[in-house]
Amino acid sequence: MKLTDFKALTFDCYGTLIDWETGILAALEPLLNAGERTLERDAVLAEFARQEAAQEAATPAMLYRDLLSEVHRRLAREWQVRVPDALHLAFGASVPQWPVFADTPAALQYLGRHFKLVILSNVDRDSFAGSNLKLGVKFDAICTAQDIGSYKPDARNFRYLIEAVAKLGIDRGQILHTAQSLYHDHVPAKAAGLATAWIDRRNRKDGGGATLSPADRPAYDFRFVSLKEMADAHRALIAPRN
């Protein structure tokens, strides 16, 4: 199997293209300061992961910005911190401020010359529109949790994705799902019969960070530590040989 075997790259956004862990921690800083909390970075991210997954399972039709506000309320209760409701709402609205990984825009621009590019993200349309300004490309299709009515890792999201890519004239066997989260993306993508590329942004870090870790590590077809490394691997495949 080679990267050149595929016609569409379907992407998770947050954690893969957008540095959501940095964004989450920055947006949680007012809550942590209000409670005078000195938790380690990974402890904060792990608690976010637990609360986010629980809220997504409980309210699959809730808009992501509203869901994030509920997650913030859950964290405040967990950490026994009282803050104004405006702070919960501000966290929910923070997604467009989360930074892009430095390698993402150039890598996407290169890959977009060779593949159809499609987003499958646990987000609402308005929040993604804010992030998309940082990504530097026009996607051929955008599939959000708001469009689908459920959150990954629900199998429904991947059925929706496969149908959306089929409208571009590309079948399941020509899709490479590209994502950081093993829990949200690789487990259900493999169950849906998709090839996958793991963008291991947490290379050499312990734990799952802002995502839950699956009980068993799923199979994947490619592994890269950055999107640049993936683009470079494709570039090397198509480079003329002397």
Catalytic residue among 12, 154, 185, 221, which? 12
C-beta separation of 58 from 139 below 8 A? no
First-last CA distance in the chain: 24
Range 169-206 burial, b when 16+ CB lie within 10 A, else e: ebebebbbbbbbbbbbbbbbbbebebbbbbbbbbeeee
Whether the CA torsion 142, 143, 144, 149 is positive or negative: it is: positive
Whole-angstrom distance, CA of residue 99 vs CA of residue 140: 22
Q: Is 140 in the active site?
A: no
Catalytic sites, residue numbers: 12
